[in-house]
Structure 1
Amino acid sequence: MTEPPAPANNRADDLGRIATIIVMGVVILGVAWLLLTLSSFLMLVFAALVLAAIFDVMTRFVSRITKLKRGPSLAISVIALLGVFASVFTLFGSQLADEFDTIRESIPPAIEEVRGLLDRVGLGKPARDLLDQGGGDISALASQAGSYALTAGNGIANLVLVFVGAIFVASDPGVYRRGLLLLIPSRAEDTAAAGLDDAAHGLRGWMVGQAVSSLVVAAVTWIGLALLGVPASGGLGLIAGLLDVIPMVGPIIAGVPAVLLAFTVSPTTALWTVVLFLVVQQLQGNLLQPMIQKHAVDVPPAILLFAVVAAGLLFGFIGVLLAAPLTVVVFVLVQRVYVRTLLGKDIKVAGRD
């Protein structure tokens, strides 16, 4: 006996489900393509949000001290921040420019000093070949960094966009928060609101802790290199403080030019420079980084390291600079939305609960 044909309604339902799955797949792929296409723009938006968080902290502090409303306090904060940068460039701009010139001119002789040391200790041709390869890698890295700097120099319009956007967001963050929550389904609105609060809390905590960490690293490096007699200690200290923003990798990158310049003084000075950076790295890893995590989010070091690499591959230099705050925000949202809400696990989120 042959089976009776399936009812027409069942076939129509099956075709409808297949069509729905296909449409959903196309929509997901389209959204993914759109996000990748707009990745640079989205990173500019995130940079504006990070800067807005900085303005928000400053505005709260000014308002608490002066008892002024948010608008005047924000104006004072923006003017104060611009004034600090203008003062730094005015007072130390020429000096730092000279020190960076010293760094650039002294690195080739420093590499020659390293080669001479290798010859004296008898390491031979394999070690020199390895050094030549490393020198080529450093040169390629410096060339790539130069292209990044050129790109940054050509992105003045983006910088202005980020700065102005940050001011608008910091002027009334509640408006943008409410607008975003209006796009969320009602059943998920409470979770989304809690996630936004957690992300803002973690971002502000990271910013405060990172500012203190960068200042301490810059000061300790500057003083230590000056005591060792390394040329351009001020510029090297500034580089170390700025690169402290990049988790894990920043201190290593900052130590390379310092050690090379120390070789122009003596191999012993270079050895003590290595010791200095090891001490600074231990200070940053065992004291400053836990302080940041206490005020922000305790992100595992391996996640931060791979986040830096992934952000650099996806978004370029701006991704490397924003890798830490981006990781903090994503980590908090995963904890709040996925682990706590969807999985129902009672965990501590961003140090708030």
Structure 2
Amino acid sequence: MQNIHRYAKRVTIAAFIVLLIATIFYTFNRHLYFFLLVFAGILLAVLLSGITNWFVNKLHVRREVGLLISSILFFGSIIGAFWLLAPTVGKQVQEMRSTVPEVVTQLEGWLSQYGWGQKIVEQMPNDMSKVLPQQQALFSRLSGVVSSTLSFLADLLIVIITGLFFAANPPLYTRGVAKLFPVRYRSRVLEVLQKCYETLKLWLVGMLAAMTIIGISTAIGYSLIGLNLAFALAFIAFLFAFIPNIGPWIAGIPVVLVSLTQGPQMVLYSLLVYGGIQLVESYWITPIIFQKTVDLPPALLLFVQVLFGIVQGGLGLLLAAPILAVIIVVVDEFYVKDFLESDLQAPSVETKSG
């Protein structure tokens, strides 16, 4: 009878664990956007914690003071850079929008030289004003833009608040996660969480360094060849450099459109400059930077980016790389080292007897 009770208890526990795992996966799938926002907050907390720890160790101040200084420097730098660059970039973006009709006209002229291109031109409307929405549709789109803007601001506020709370007292949350595991595993969980923190911190340092190099070198290169809207295009290249593999291709599209307004020769020059910078960044700068930080497998990273992009759009594509970095650490520590290689780490029977 006692064995039956033990068996029933084990079956109940196993069923509960399976149900719990299924519930977690269902919740994660249904509310993936929320979890991505939380992860974005964790990423911000990692950045702020790294800066805060430096101030605490160097200036010997309390953590609250270090976090205040870090937050002022981080958000102040973003606001200051926006304040300095916004007039120039905004003006050039407006010029970029005004050049679109000219680009379309030149593109039609180039396509008309070929038979297959002539068929495409015939399908394009002669009056581009017909493409513009009517007044009723315009108001509908305007309300959608306002709603999207408010949603973006709300999401941004969630990320900032989450990052500040996590950065204020990281041990409070890491110990809370560790308490979800049996006592004998808690020290190991804390060790892996610390390694995840170090991995994300190094990845952020390497990515910010690569983005800065790309942004500055692109602005200099475009200015030297006389490409219009050089700072706006460099700013776009700087932002999309945060998305490995896919980001540079997206940032190259406006370069081609703008250079078309200055002739085929400028298209060639701009592509050479942009391609040269991306080539140097991919095969020289990035390997040097990430050799000492985090090196993600390119093919696996591209697969994860496509998967997250399909499932959750832009936010998933944006966070695919750091999420992959954390997944690699967790799999390597818990599955590879603690499970697959556990027999190699434990002393063998022959060794004990010998």
Question: Do Structure 1 and Structure 2 share a fold, with TM-score over 0.5?
Answer: yes
Secondary structure in 2 aligned to 1:299?
A: coil
The Cα of 1:16 is off from its aligned counterpart by 8.5
Question: 1:257 maps to which residue?
Answer: 254
Matched, 1:173 2:170: yes
Match of 2:115 in 1: 124
2:86 maps to 1:93: yes
Q: Which residue of 2 aligns with 1:44?
A: 37
Report Cα offsets for 1:137-156 as digits up to 9, x if no partner: xx9xxxxxxx8997355232
What is the correspondence of 1:82-231 to structure 2 with a 5 Å cutoff? Answer: 82-120=75-113, 123-125=114-116, 129=120, 151=148, 153-231=150-228
What whole-Å deviation, never above 9, does each CA across 1:49-103 have from its counterpart, x for those lacking one?
1001110122123334433222211101101122212222322222211111122
Contact conserved, 1:59 with 1:70, CA < 8 A, in 2? yes
Q: SS at 1:247's partner residue? A: coil
| Equivalent position of 1:236 in the other structure | 233
Q: How many residues align?
A: 326
Length-normalised TM-score, structure 2: 0.82
State the distance in 2 between where 1:190 and 1:50 align.
Answer: 23
Q: 1:67 to 1:323 in 2, by over 3 A?
A: same
Query: What is the CA–CA distance in structure 2 between the aligned matches of 1:189 and 1:62, rounded to whole Å?
Result: 29
Describe the shift of the 1:209–1:251 C-alpha distance in structure 2 as closer, same or farther (beyond 3 A).
Answer: same
User: In 2 relative to 1, CA 130–233 (structure 1 residues): closer, same or farther, beyond 3 Å?
Assistant: same
Q: Which amino acid in the other structure matches residue 52 of structure 2?
A: T
Cα distance change of structure 1 residues 57 and 15 upon mapping to structure 2, 3 Å threshold: closer
Greater CA drift, 111-120 or 95-104: 111-120
Unaligned runs of 5+ in 2: 125-130, 132-143, 346-354
Per-residue Cα deviation, 1:236-265 (whole angstroms, up to 9, x for no partner): 101101100101000010011011100100
Q: Which residue of 2 aligns with 1:136?
A: none
Give 2:31's aligned amino acid: L
Distance 1:210 1:149, change over 3 A: farther
Provide closer, same or farther for how the CA distance between residues 126 and 149 of structure 1 changes in structure 2, counting only shifts above 3 A: farther
For structure 1, the 5+ residue unaligned runs are: 1-7, 134-138, 140-146, 348-353
Pick one of 321, 325, 332 that aligns with 2:322: 325
Partner of 1:32: 25
Which has the higher mean CA deviation after the structures are superposed, 75-84 or 181-190? 181-190
Q: How does 1:271-350 map to 2 (within 5 A)?
A: 271-344=268-341
Indicate the residue corresponding to 2:47 in structure 1: 54
Aligned partner of residue 322 in structure 1, secondary structure: helix
Q: Deviation per CA, 1:272-325: give whole Å up to 9, x if none.
A: 111112112112211232234323332110111111111122222211111111
